[in-house]
C-alpha cells in the first residue's frame, strides 16, 4: 500500500508542536486506496504552451520536509542567497549559479535569509538572529531574541525587523544587532505553525499576526500607526477559531493586501488600515500580485485571481486541489505555484489554464518561487535550488 502525505502546516500550542493528524480541511494522511475527498488531485496530461528551461541548479544543504521552515531564496538583483536548516548560508551569482561564498553559522536556521542595505540576515529555531556581510559573508553580529524565528526578517535602511512565533516584532540595529524596539501582540493558545514576514514600506513596518490582526508601526520607534482586526475568530472549538495571518502581506502603492487561514482576503488602506474590501477565502501560504490582479492559493488548493481594485473574482482553478500549494508568483504572463511533490505549475494569468509543468526536485516546495529579471528561482525543502527561464519561442 502506498501512503500519500499532503498535509497543511502543523499546529502549534503554547510553543509546542502538535505532531498529530488534526481533522482540518485539506489535511490528509491516507493511502491511495482510500476514498477521501481531500485526496491531492492527480496530475493530468495537457499540451504545454510554454517551454520552461532549467538554467542552473545547486544543492544548498540538508533539508527538512516535516518542520515547514521559512527558508526561501532572496536576491539583491545580481546575487542570490539561500540557507539550510543545518546553518549554512550561501551566496550565488544569480545569473550563472556560481557559488561566491558559503558560511556555516552553526545555527538551526528556520527563517530567511533576507538581504538589504549590504546585509544578509536570518533567524533560527532556537531564537538566534545572525547578520552577515552580503559582500563576503563575514559575520557582523548575532543576538538571541528568545523565541523561534520561522519567517525571513525584513531589512530596512537602518534595522532588521524580526517576527517571532510568540507574537513579537523586534527591530534590531543593522550596525550591531542592538534591540531598537519591540512590540508584542496577544497570541491565541493554538495556532498554525508558521508566520508571515514583516514588510518595510518607507516609514512603516507592517505585519500580520496569529490573532487575525494586521498592524502598521513607525519604523523608527515602533509606535502604532494603526492596528486592525481583519476577521474576528469564530467557532466553538479552538481549531474552528483559528484565524492566523500566516501569509506575508503585500503592500502596493497605497494599498495593503492580506489573507488569513479560515479568514478573509482583504484590501486595506496603507495610511489608516481601513478595510476597503474583503471576501471569504482561507489560505496559509499567501498571495502574489501584478499590476491589476491578486493571486491567492487557498487551503483547498484552489488558485484564485481577483481584481486588486475591487476584489471581484476574475477566475478560479481547482486543477491542483489539495496539492499543498505555495503562494503564487507572477512570472511573465503566468502564475507559478509549487506543490508537495516538488512540481512547479504555470497557470495562465488571464484565464487560470495550465500552461506548463516542471519538477524542481523530489521534495516539497514550501516557499513561493522568486523572480529576478527573467529568471525564476525555487528552493525545495530538500535543499535543491533551481533556476528556470521561459524559453518559449517568440512569434514573429
Could you give the number of structural domains in the chain? 1
213 within a domain of the structure (yes/no): yes
Give 187's pLDDT tier (boundaries 50, 70, 90).
Answer: confident
pLDDT of 4 reads 41
Please compute the mean of the pLDDT values over residues 48-64 and round it to a whole number.
90
Please compute the mean of the pLDDT values over residues 111-128 and round it to a whole number.
97
266 within a domain of the structure (yes/no): yes
pLDDT of 69 reads 84
- Give 247: exposed, middle or buried? Use CB within 10 Å, 0-12, 13-18, 19+: buried
pLDDT of 10 reads 58
Cβ contact 11:192 at 8 Å:
yes
Domain coverage including residue 133: 3-390
Among 119-128, 198-207, 279-288, the range scoring the smallest mean pLDDT is: 279-288
- Per-residue pLDDT reduced to its tens digit, 61-119: 866 656 678 999 999 999 999 999 999 999 999 999 999 999 999 999 999 999 999 99
380 within a domain of the structure (yes/no): yes
**Distance of alpha carbon 68 from alpha carbon 20, whole angstroms:** 15
345 within a domain of the structure (yes/no): yes
Q: Buried (b) or exposed (e) across 57-94, using 16+ Cβ within 10 A?
A: ebebbebbeebbbbbbbbbbeebbbbbbbbbbbbbbeb
**Distance of alpha carbon 136 from alpha carbon 92, whole angstroms:** 11
396 within a domain of the structure (yes/no): no
Q: Residues of the chain with pLDDT > 70: what percent?
A: 87
DSSP state of 76: S
197: domain CATH number?
2.130.10.10
395 within a domain of the structure (yes/no): no
**Distance of alpha carbon 141 from alpha carbon 175, whole angstroms:** 8
Amino acid at each position: 500500500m502506498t501512503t500519500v502525505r499532503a498535509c497543511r502546516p502543523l499546529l502549534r500550542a503554547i510553543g509546542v508542536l502538535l505532531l498529530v493528524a488534526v481533522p482540518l480541511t485539506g489535511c490528509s494522511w491516507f493511502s491511495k486506496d482510500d476514498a477521501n475527498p481531500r485526496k491531492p488531485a492527480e496530475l493530468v496530461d495537457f499540451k504545454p504552451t510554454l517551454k520552461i528551461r532549467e538554467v542552473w541548479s545547486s544543492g544548498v544543504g540538508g533539508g527538512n520536509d516535516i518542520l515547514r521552515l521559512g527558508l526561501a531564496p532572496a536576491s539583491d538583483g545580481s546575487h542570490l542567497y539561500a540557507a539550510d536548516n543545518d546553518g549554512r548560508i550561501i551566496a550565488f551569482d544569480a545569473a550563472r549559479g556560481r557559488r561566491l561564498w558559503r558560511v556555516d553559522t552553526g545555527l538551526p536556521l528556520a527563517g530567511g535569509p533576507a538581504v538589504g542595505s549590504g546585509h544578509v540576515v536570518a533567524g533560527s529555531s532556537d531564537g538566534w538572529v545572525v547578520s552577515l556581510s552580503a559582500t563576503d559573508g563575514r559575520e557582523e553580529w548575532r543576538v538571541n531574541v528568545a523565541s523561534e524565528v520561522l519567517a525571513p526578517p525584513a531589512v530596512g535602511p537602518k534595522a532588521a525587523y524580526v517576527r517571532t512565533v510568540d507574537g513579537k516584532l523586534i527591530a534590531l540595529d543593522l550596525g550591531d544587532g542592538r534591540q531598537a524596539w519591540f512590540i508584542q501582540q496577544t497570541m491565541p493558545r493554538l495556532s498554525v505553525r508558521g508566520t508571515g514576514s514583516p514588510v518595510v514600506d518607507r516609514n512603516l513596518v507592517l505585519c500580520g499576526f496569529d490573532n487575525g490582526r494586521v498592524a502598521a508601526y513607525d519604523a523608527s520607534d515602533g509606535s502604532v500607526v494603526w492596528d486592525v482586526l481583519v476577521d474576528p475568530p469564530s467557532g466553538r472549538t479552538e481549531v474552528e477559531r483559528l484565524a492566523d495571518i500566516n501569509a506575508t502581506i503585500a503592500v502596493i502603492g497605497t494599498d495593503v493586501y492580506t489573507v488569513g487561514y479560515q479568514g478573509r482576503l482583504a484590501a486595506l488602506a496603507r495610511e489608516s488600515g481601513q478595510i476597503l474590501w474583503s471576501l471569504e477565502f482561507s489560505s496559509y501560504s499567501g498571495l502574489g500580485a501584478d499590476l491589476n490582479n491578486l493571486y491567492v492559493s487557498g487551503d483547498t488548493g484552489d488558485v484564485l485571481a481577483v481584481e486588486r481594485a475591487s476584489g471581484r473574482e476574475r477566475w478560479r482553478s481547482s486543477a491542483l486541489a489539495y496539492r499543498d500549494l505555495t503562494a503564487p508568483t507572477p512570472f511573465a504572463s503566468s502564475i507559478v505555484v509549487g506543490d508537495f511533490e516538488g512540481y512547479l505549475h504555470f497557470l495562465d494569468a488571464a484565464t487560470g489554464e495550465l500552461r506548463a509543468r516542471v519538477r524542481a526536485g523530489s521534495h516539497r516546495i514550501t516557499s513561493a518561487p522568486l523572480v529576478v529579471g527573467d529568471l525564476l528561482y525555487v528552493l525545495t525543502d530538500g535543499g535543491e535550488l533551481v533556476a528556470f527561464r521561459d524559453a518559449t519561442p517568440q512569434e514573429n
